[in-house]
Amino acid sequence: MLATTPAGIAIFDFDWTLIDTDSDRFVIQYLSPEIRKKLDDKSIQWTDRQNLCLEEYYEQGGSGHTIREALTKIPMDPSMIDACRLLHSKGWNLVIISDSNTVYIEGILEHIGIRNLFSAIITNPAHWDDQDQLRIKRLIPADAPHGCTVGVCSLNLCKGQQVEQLLLQHQQGSGPASIPMRMIYVGDGQNDYCPALRMENKDEKDIYFVRRGRSLEAYLTNKNKVGVMEALKARIVYWNAANDVLQELQAAL
């Protein structure tokens, strides 16, 4: 549930942002280093590739038990947990927008004990079938493309469009649409650029956290990409480790 009058909306990417690994790669590697090699086959779309790797794992006799076990091994920095708790305690709505999937994200958050901090998880739908086999599907199916032209979004997910929908829901729930929702975004990957185009600069209060050394920073600082940085209005804060995010939030909230 989205709180109707939040202090703002804090949006987190999941892989290499909330957690300190890539959940898709981590789980498949845990199940089978041999099958993990097939994740590098770029001829198949990423979400479909996940599902195919899982199918192969089950064909080889794998079980859902080991997948659930893998989710308990995922590393998350305690400072990132503190940052989430801080935002939540200050009345922010916390939302995850991720190219992972519902089963991984909810399983990991429940294991850590922080599922309750998040009001929405927007990601690829996954479920356990009646054989306890995990099935993953694309959030945006192939036959109904999102049509985003920014150039950083994958076929199955435009994070910018998801942010737009979230903002609409918040406006509908919280009085005058003319009062802009304060926004914080934390990410690391190139596909975290599109949603930042939806951020404003309200008295320097919108903060765009960009992780150092990963594809988002590379995209922002690529000299061949004209106007990429200029299109952003929010205040940019670069971070290396979760404690950088926590300290900035402690000062800014």
Q: Which residues bind Zn ion (CB under 5 A)?
A: 148, 150, 153, 158, 160, 194
244 annotated as a binding-site residue: no
Contact 219, 213 (CB under 8 A): no
User: Tokens representing 50?
Assistant: 């996940």
With CA atoms as reference, report the closest residue to 237 among 219, 215, 212: 212
Stretch that binds Mg ion, among 16-24, 89-97, 133-141, 215-223 (CB under 5 A): 16-24
Alpha-carbon distance 22 to 211, whole Å? Answer: 14
The listed partner (Zn ion, Mg ion, none) that binds 194, CB under 5 to 8 Å by sort, is Zn ion
- Catalytic (active-site) positions: 13, 15
In the bound complex, which residue of the shown chain has the CB atom lying closest to Zn ion?
A: 148
Sole binder of Mg ion in the list 62, 107, 189, 195 (CB under 5 A): 189
Q: Using alpha carbons only, how large is the chain's radius of gyration in Å?
A: 18
User: Residue 195, interface with Mg ion (CB under 5 A)?
Assistant: no
Residue span binding Mg ion (CB under 5 A) among the ranges 13-21, 28-36, 41-49, 147-155: 13-21
Alpha-carbon torsion 199, 205, 211, 214, what sign?
positive
Please work out the total of residues on this chain that contact Mg ion, with binding judged by CB under 5 A.
6
192 annotated as belonging to a binding site for a ligand: no
Using rule CB under 5 A, residue 118 touches Mg ion = no
Amino acid at 21: T
Strands 134-136 and 183-187: unpaired
Judged by CB under 5 A, the residue of 6, 8, 9, 13 near Mg ion is 13
Alpha helices in the chain (DSSP H): 23-31, 33-36, 46-59, 64-71, 78-89, 102-112, 159-173, 193-196, 215-220, 242-252
203 is in an annotated binding site: no
* Residue 13 marked in a binding site: yes
Contact stretch for Mg ion (CB under 5 A) within 51-59, 154-162, 189-197, 223-231? 189-197
- Where do contacts with Mg ion occur on this chain (CB under 5 A)? 13, 15-17, 188-189
Binding site residues for substrate, as ranges?
Answer: 24, 99
